[in-house]
Amino acid sequence: MGKYEVFKNAPITEAVLEVVVLPSEGTNVESLLPFHEPIKERFPKIEQGKEVRGGFKVGVGSASFVEEKPIGFIFRSHQENKVIQARVNGFAFSKLKPYENWEAFRSEASDLWKLYSYIAKPQKILRISMRYINRIEIPLPLRDFAEYILTHLQIAPSLPQAISQFFIRFEIPNSEIPAMAVIIQTIENVTDKNRLPLIFDIAVLRENEYPVDSPEVWIDFEKLHDFKNDIFFSSITEKTKELFR
Amino acid sequence: MNYALVPSTKHDLSACPAISEEAKLLKIRAEQLMADYYKPLSTRWANPAIRFFDLKDEWERDTAMLSSITDIAMHPAYQHIIGIGPVAVSFILYEMSKKPNHWFWALKSITGEDPVPPRAKGNIEEMTEAWLNWGREQRYLP
């Protein structure tokens, strides 16, 4: 058994593993299309991936400086619960719920990455990252967030403790790997079952140059996964774990 | 507060490109947050893109009925755009690509360049095309 409990009803709504690369000279969107051939049985749905960039304008009127640029392809599985983003500058694999376990996710991501790197032939890897978005449905009434989550927003005790919405984002560096965690929390509207959905989004990333076929990449992914787990499991309480069992 | 604040080592910390409904919600909330952040003038004008488009709107509105190129280019908002400096070049070129206008003076002032061939002088479409080609060569435009 691993260091941390594997839950029957894990709150993970999406797990993403991403590798950002320096593309080879001449790599373009069309040159990524052969990536689809060997996976089209499993990922039959294909669409173009686009990047929207530009400045935005606040106030009357809509965005003033927006442009769309094709950057790759998005491939979806039959049930659309697995999605690959093959871009000129990288590769990402998403697994939507239900999430099974890290070993299965990593294994599939690793196979798909090998295929991507064979087709795209990038010069080197620039960044690796993974992101886990959790949706924790907290039963109401709730007296204190700390009953369920220990990494949370704190309001001065002299102020009213009722809040209707929040969105917080913070970064936690880890000098040992070294890596950075980007954590976001927000709440959704109360559900029909009188539960408050807390979105707990944990992304961990390491900016480092690796050769494309370096086994060190997957060693570092393990470290990032441990870092992500440390953040998640240190942030939840026994009461929260009960929700997932 | 019982935690220490340490400087971020990197500026680009955009996380993995997630696609779930929860990821979309987070994106919308983050955009709302940015919109709220940029509402006060103090923060609004710290962003060169917003500053540029505010000034451009003012310039277009005030000079719509003017025919003198000198009056058009001497408008305070136009001069302010020149004052933004090199950051404004990509915004100006983007505007030119959508709608030709008298941006030539500003571009020449900021960049010190003049890619317009003598035969095209005075022809707003050809002058615009010459600047857009220059912008592509200099990688200001895709």
| Residue ranges of domains in chain A | 12-54+62-244
The ipTM estimated for the assembled molecules is: 0.73
User: Is B4's Cβ below 8 Å from some Cβ in A?
Assistant: no
Run of H or E including B50? helix B48-63
The beta-carbon neighbor of B26 closest among A18, A58, A184 is: A184
**CB contact (8 A) between residue A133 and residue B19:** no
User: Is B8's Cβ below 8 Å from some Cβ in A?
Assistant: yes
Question: How confident is the model over B110-130, as pLDDT tens digits?
Answer: 999 999 999 999 899 999 999
- Find all residues with CB under 8 Å of A111, minimum gap 6, and list them: none
Question: How confident is the model over B30-88, as pLDDT tens digits?
Answer: 888 877 777 777 777 777 888 888 899 999 999 999 889 899 999 999 999 999 999 89
C-alpha distance from residue A137 to each of A76, A144, A148, B137 (Å): 27, 14, 10, 53
Q: How far is B15 from chain A (nearest CA, A)?
A: 6
The predicted pLDDT at position A70 comes to: 82
User: A–B: how many Cβ contacts below 8 A?
Assistant: 99
Q: How far apart are CA A218 and CA A211, in angstroms?
A: 12
Nearest to B79 by CA among B106, B102, B108, B50: B106
